Amino acid sequence: MTIGQRIFFLLEEKKMTQVEFSRKSGIATTTISDWRKKNTNPGSEKIMQICAALNVTPEYLLSGVCEDSERGKNVDYLVIPKGTDERTLLELFNEMPWLERNHLLEYARKLSCKKHDSELLCRKKTNEPDNGKYMKKIAEFCDIEVFMDEHFSGDPCVEINYLDDDVRGHIDLQSGQITGAFSKYVMPVIEAWLQEHKELLLSMWKNNRISPVPAWE
């Protein structure tokens, strides 16, 4: 059985139309029809798209060998209970076309990178020369993180990081001045938070003692 024949065998087995397969894989219906009419195989660049749409491994698509075969690989299985957010996310992901899956994965990777960068900022010295800063996260609200220098060097201040847009800035605690390219929607949120917690932040700096700021919405 050729790869093309195996694809149509799987479509019939899964009761999946060529239109649905096209939507899930991102491959044009005319291209799919050509595989059947001309008895040809898809190009290697489309294999992963096809496997994702048909929920099979590349090994099975190329050779017809299942995972439990002696030639198969060991497969890790993940059990996700029904009714959980994780299960809902996975089910929605499986219903998406191949291109939308890629967009979602790329967005998730960017969020992960931003979180990683935030953690580095929290427990790592900045790259600015000779500033002696060692930042500790003291608050997080509305995708905004707030950091204070554990060495309490310079004038009383905190640094802020807006995760969604990856924008960083600075608050002078004495003057209340906020610097940073924050949008007109984010700036009022920071200002409201600062107004409520300014005295607490100044007290931390004065006493050289950092403590988590109470949750704020």
* Residue 169 located in a structural domain: yes
Nearest partner of 118 among 164, 153, 157, 150, judged by Cα = 164
Q: Which pTM does this prediction carry? A: 0.43
Q: What is the pLDDT of residue 131?
A: 46
CA distance 176 to 191: 9
* Residue 125 located in a structural domain: no
**168 DSSP β-pair partners:** 161
* Residue 73 located in a structural domain: no
DSSP letter assigned to residue 37? H
How far out from the chain centre does Cα 53 lie? 22
CA distance 83 to 103: 25
φ, ψ (nearest 5 deg) of residue 139: -160, 155
**pLDDT tens digit at each of 217 positions of the chain:** 788 888 998 999 889 999 999 998 899 988 998 888 888 889 888 888 898 888 888 888 887 766 554 433 444 456 577 788 888 888 888 788 877 887 888 888 777 666 555 555 554 444 443 444 578 889 988 889 999 988 888 889 999 988 877 788 999 999 999 998 888 889 999 999 999 999 999 999 999 988 888 887 6
DSSP letter assigned to residue 176? -
Point out the domain boundary residue: 14, 46, 65. 65
Q: What is the pLDDT of residue 72?
A: 39
User: CB under 8 Å to 202, separation ≥6 — which residues?
Assistant: 156, 173, 174
Q: What is the pLDDT of residue 119?
A: 55
CA 207 to each of CA 109, 150, 152, 160, 188: distance values in angstroms, whole numbers, following the listed order: 40, 11, 10, 21, 28
* Residue 83 located in a structural domain: no
DSSP letter assigned to residue 42? -
Q: In what order do the strands lie in the sheet with 144-149?
A: 135-141, 144-149, 157-162, 167-172, 178-179
Q: What is the pLDDT of residue 67?
A: 52
Number of domains in the chain: 2
Q: What is the pLDDT of residue 71?
A: 39
Query: Residue 158 in contact with residue 173, Cβ under 8 Å?
Result: yes
* Residue 48 located in a structural domain: yes
Query: Residue 208 in contact with residue 152, Cβ under 8 Å?
Result: yes
- Cα(first)–Cα(last) distance of the chain, in Å? 60
**What is the extent of the structural domain holding 148?**
135-207
* Residue 179 located in a structural domain: yes
Q: What is the pLDDT of residue 172?
A: 93
Residue type, 20: E
Query: Residue 72 in contact with residue 85, Cβ under 8 Å?
Result: no
DSSP letter assigned to residue 45? G
* Residue 130 located in a structural domain: no
* Residue 97 located in a structural domain: no
Q: What is the pLDDT of residue 203?
A: 92
Point out the domain boundary residue: 65, 90, 115. 65
**159 DSSP β-pair partners:** 147, 170
Point out the domain boundary residue: 41, 65, 89. 65
